[in-house]
């Protein structure tokens, strides 16, 4: 697969009068390949927007190499700008203009045929409302108009910084459907967010940033698999006896209200056989898989605990071949306030 975005060793330090020197991005790497819907995940202030701004030439990097669609950024960015759509800073629209008039203005300014206007309005689901003034739009509709403006030139790559920010659940769902339909149409999408569930629902790949450094990257399934402790939630009629039997069989078991958690077990038969052979029948046996939220919280240090998500499918995640977890960054992390 070809690289659509490559960043290696990106550094950016801001100097402000009040706060002095602030390292926003510190040797950061990112690889986005063609066809991916790539989630760029990190807590507030971890460096996501700075990275995207540097990539797009909106802020000057202090070090590192970047390329977009094979062109070095920022020097050769103009060569590929027509193939990239990006919404990084909150777009401002004229409130008194309709969506159609807004897009017409942008199409004319960008040399895009005006026949594209109806196509992008359809793509973002705004055609029915396109004659209304933008000032009457909801935040979600404004976001969709922003995406429509980025789609005018039929980009191969779409970069969205926090597209779900400020949206209500219905708006988030609309944005999710929109990103999925763009991905299905072959657009490579890089999407920054701190809404973990969103990333898990939309993205196939993820890069996690914490304090300006990459702390994990790879296929979402593989990143999750890297944190899988092979735990099972077990319900039985006599939990105390079950703890004893499982412990005697050398299994790691902890008691929780109403259930037990057995860790480090690949095959659930081991649990049911150990208990069944002593006449203790398992009522429920559920694999506990880590979700992106628990992985993110562990990597970025925002909580010491690993909440678990119950995945009733019982399907083991894919192998962890592609996932890379930067252990140095993990161990050296500081706790976010």
Ligand X SMILES: Nc1ncnc2c1ncn2[C@@H]1O[C@H](COP(=O)(O)OP(=O)(O)OP(=O)(O)O)[C@@H](O)[C@H]1O
Binding site for ligand X (CB under 6 A): 14, 16, 22, 24, 42, 44-50, 194
What are the tokens at 20? 């002095």
Nearer to ligand X, 48 or 205 (CB): 48
Query: 271-289 burial by CB neighbour count: b if 16+ within 10 A, else e?
Result: bbebbeeeebebeebbbbb
Nearer to ligand X, 49 or 188 (CB): 49
Nearer to ligand X, 266 or 334 (CB): 334
User: ω before 74 within 30° of 0 (cis)?
Assistant: yes
**Nearest approach, Cβ of residue 274 and ligand X (Å):** 47
Beta-carbon contacts of 81 under 8 Å, excluding residues fewer than 6 positions away, are: none
User: Which residue is listed with tokens 């909440």?
Assistant: 307
**Nearest approach, Cβ of residue 266 and ligand X (Å):** 37
Distance (Å, rounded) from C-alpha 298 to C-alpha 328? 14
**Nearest approach, Cβ of residue 223 and ligand X (Å):** 18
Q: 256, exposed or middle or buried, with CB in 10 Å at 0-12, 13-18, 19+?
A: exposed
Nearer to ligand X, 36 or 49 (CB): 49
Task: Report, in angstroms and rounded to the nearest whole number, the Rg of the chain calculated over CA atoms.
Answer: 24
Q: 156, exposed or middle or buried, with CB in 10 Å at 0-12, 13-18, 19+?
A: middle
**Nearest approach, Cβ of residue 326 and ligand X (Å):** 17
Nearer to ligand X, 47 or 218 (CB): 47
**Nearest approach, Cβ of residue 32 and ligand X (Å):** 17
């Amino acid at each position: 697969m070809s690289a659509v975005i490559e960043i290696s060793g990106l550094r950016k330090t801001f100097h402000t009068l009040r706060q002095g020197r602030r390292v926003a991005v510190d040797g950061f790497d990112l690889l986005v390949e063609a066809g991916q819907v790539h989630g760029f995940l990190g807590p507030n202030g971890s460096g996501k927007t700075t990275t995207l701004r540097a990539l797009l030439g909106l802020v000057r990097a202090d070090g590192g190499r970047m390329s977009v669609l094979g062109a070095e950024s920022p020097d050769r960015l103009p060569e590929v700008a027509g193939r990239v759509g990006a919404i990084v800073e909150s777009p401002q629209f004229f409130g008194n203009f309709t969506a159609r008039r807004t897009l017409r203005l942008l199409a004319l300014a960008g040399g895009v045929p005006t026949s594209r206007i109806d196509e992008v309005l359809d793509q973002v689901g705004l055609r029915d409302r396109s004659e209304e003034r933008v000032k009457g739009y909801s935040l979600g509709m404004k976001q969709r108009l922003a995406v429509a403006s980025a789609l005018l030139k039929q980009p191969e790559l779409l970069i969205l910084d926090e597209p779900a920010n400020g949206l209500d659940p219905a708006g988030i769902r609309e944005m999710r459907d929109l990103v999925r339909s763009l991905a299905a149409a072959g657009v490579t999408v890089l999407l920054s967010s701190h809404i973990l569930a969103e990333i898990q629902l939309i993205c196939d790949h993820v890069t996690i940033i914490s304090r300006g450094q990459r702390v994990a990257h790879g296929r979402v399934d593989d990143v999750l698999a890297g944190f899988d402790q092979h735990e099972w939630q077990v319900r039985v009629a006599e939990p105390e006896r079950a703890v004893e039997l499982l412990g005697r069989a050398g299994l790691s078991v902890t008691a929780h209200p109403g259930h037990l958690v057995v860790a480090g077990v690949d095959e659930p038969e081991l649990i049911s056989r150990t208990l069944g052979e002593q006449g203790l029948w398992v009522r429920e046996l559920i694999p506990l898989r880590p979700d992106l939220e628990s992985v993110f919280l562990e990597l970025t240090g925002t909580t010491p605990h690993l909440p678990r998500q119950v995945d009733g499918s019982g399907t083991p995640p894919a192998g962890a071949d592609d996932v890379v977890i930067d252990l140095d960054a993990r161990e050296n992390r500081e706790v976010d306030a």
